[in-house]
Amino acid sequence: MPNPRLAQSLLSVGLVLIVIVSAEAADPDLRTQARAIFKSLPKDMAIPDSPLAPAQVTLGRMLYFEPRASVDGTVSCARCHQPALFGTDALPKAVGAEHRPNPRNAPTVLNAAIQLVQHWRGDRTSVEDQATKALIAPPSFGNPTYESAMAKLKAIPSYPALFAQAFPGQADPVTADNWGKAIGAYMRTLVTPSPFDAFLAGDDRALPPAAQAGLRTFVQVGCVGCHNGVGVGGATYQKFGLVEDYWKATGSTSIDKGRFDVTKSPADMYVFKVPSLRNVAMTPPYFHDGSVPTLPAAVRVMGRVQLGRTLTDGELADIVAFLESLTGRLPHDFLTAPPIPPAAARP
């Protein structure tokens, strides 16, 4: 006669095994669909046919954490793009030199080089352009001229030699252009591979069932219309508020006209660069004005103003689970600041 306790134990073991197998198995059709929409991160974000120069990367890392090139000696790139906060500052709007407020939220620098342009309005063409122009932007480094910023670096004994090593053969390598090239070279190494990349590469265990369900929902409800490609966004412009005015959903206290202020074209009213969603779970608050504090609230807003949908609690939870799978590993040389050259000794 069969032992009922043994039978029950075997049944329990079988059910556990079924759960484990289900958790580890991925839907091959979902992966195929995802591969057609997205793309895994590259090892670095070098300009095609222009490999990164190690000396420029090393110098760029120093300059990224260097505050003495700012007008008041307090602002570095890391001031608004902090490693501990996944390359952001956790403020609704960044604060630059001499406590000057920035008109918009500071986006993450992680994976930034893969994007179409830089800044919410696309008024910086590349990470190099952004780093250079930040030197004289009032809400950033705040210098009156590029020359005044470079004079500060030239007064620090080690920098002229470091610039000469990174940019050999130049009579005066300590220039704003080379500052931008060096920081840009470093930023092009700030790649954060995530569980989602492992899933795309074929790892069935990389995404838990909730994240896979969220990926499926993310595709089905239409989020991928804008958030696609290697950055899961960051490759196009889009009007914020396709279905209704965005500020009615975000509670924004001021209305930003977006790219219109750059181009003066009526077609660009309330148009912004579509943000990359990589590491989005780690970079609140959300949107160009930091008006929404949490990721679930931001996803609800997007469903409402972009898709005309009221997401169910289940859809929302699944999409957030998928977005959390986009959180990547921070580069080891981004976690801590390097030693920066000492100032000249006073006489």
Classify residue 289: in a domain, yes or no.
Answer: yes
**Residue 251 is part of which domain span?**
32-40+193-324
Same domain (yes/no): 147, 120? yes
Classify residue 236: in a domain, yes or no.
Answer: yes
Cα–Cα dist 108/47, whole Å? 20
Residue 321 has pLDDT above 80, yes or no: yes
Classify residue 72: in a domain, yes or no.
Answer: yes
Classify residue 110: in a domain, yes or no.
Answer: yes
Cα–Cα dist 328/234, whole Å? 17
Label residue 201 by pLDDT band (50, 70, 90): very high
Classify residue 82: in a domain, yes or no.
Answer: yes
Same domain (yes/no): 183, 200? no
Label residue 20 by pLDDT band (50, 70, 90): very low
Number of domains the chain is built from:
2
What pLDDT, on a 0 to 100 scale, did the predictor assign at position 25? Answer: 60
> Is residue 326 a contact partner of residue 196, using CB atoms and an 8 Å limit?
yes
Q: What is the mean pLDDT of residues 88-102?
A: 97
Q: What is the mean pLDDT of residues 130-137?
A: 98
What pLDDT, on a 0 to 100 scale, did the predictor assign at position 10? Answer: 42
CATH number at residue 223: 1.10.760.10
What is the C-alpha end-to-end distance of the chain, expressed in Å? Answer: 98
Please tell me whether residue 238 adopts helix, strand or coil conformation.
Answer: strand
Same domain (yes/no): 74, 165? yes
Classify residue 18: in a domain, yes or no.
Answer: no
Which residues on neighbouring strands pair with residue 124, listed in sequence order? 118
Neighbouring C-beta atoms of residue 244, cutoff 10 Å: 12
Name the residue with higher pLDDT: 7 or 286. Answer: 286
Residue 336 has pLDDT above 70, yes or no: yes
Same domain (yes/no): 207, 256? yes
Same domain (yes/no): 182, 197? no
Classify residue 134: in a domain, yes or no.
Answer: yes
What pLDDT, on a 0 to 100 scale, did the predictor assign at position 44? Answer: 94
pTM of the complete model: 0.91
> Is residue 118 a contact partner of residue 130, using CB atoms and an 8 Å limit?
yes
Last residue of a domain, one of 159, 187, 215: 187
What pLDDT, on a 0 to 100 scale, did the predictor assign at position 26? Answer: 66
- Closest by alpha carbon to 46, among 65, 36, 60, 34? 60
Same domain (yes/no): 227, 183? no
- 15-19, 51-55, 241-245: segment of lowest average pLDDT: 15-19
Please tell me whether residue 10 adopts helix, strand or coil conformation.
Answer: helix
Same domain (yes/no): 169, 252? no
Q: What is the mean pLDDT of residues 260-288?
A: 98
Report the chain's mean pLDDT, rounded to a whole number: 93
> Is residue 45 a contact partner of residue 51, using CB atoms and an 8 Å limit?
no
**Token pair in block for residue 276:** 């990359």
Last residue of a domain, one of 165, 187, 209: 187
Query: DSSP states of 88-150 as a string?
Result: B-SSSS-B-GGGPBPSS-----TTGGGSSSBSTT--B-SHHHHHHHHTT-TTTT--S-HHHHH
Which residues on neighbouring strands pair with residue 286, listed in sequence order? 292
Q: What is the mean pLDDT of residues 11-30?
A: 54
Same domain (yes/no): 104, 208? no
Classify residue 222: in a domain, yes or no.
Answer: yes
> Is residue 100 a contact partner of residue 138, using CB atoms and an 8 Å limit?
yes
Residue 22 has pLDDT above 50, yes or no: no
What pLDDT, on a 0 to 100 scale, did the predictor assign at position 118? Answer: 98
Same domain (yes/no): 240, 160? no
Same domain (yes/no): 236, 181? no
Last residue of a domain, one of 157, 187, 217: 187
Same domain (yes/no): 58, 169? yes
Same domain (yes/no): 201, 284? yes
Label residue 345 by pLDDT band (50, 70, 90): low
Tabulate helix, strand, coil % of the chain (nearest 5).
45, 5, 50
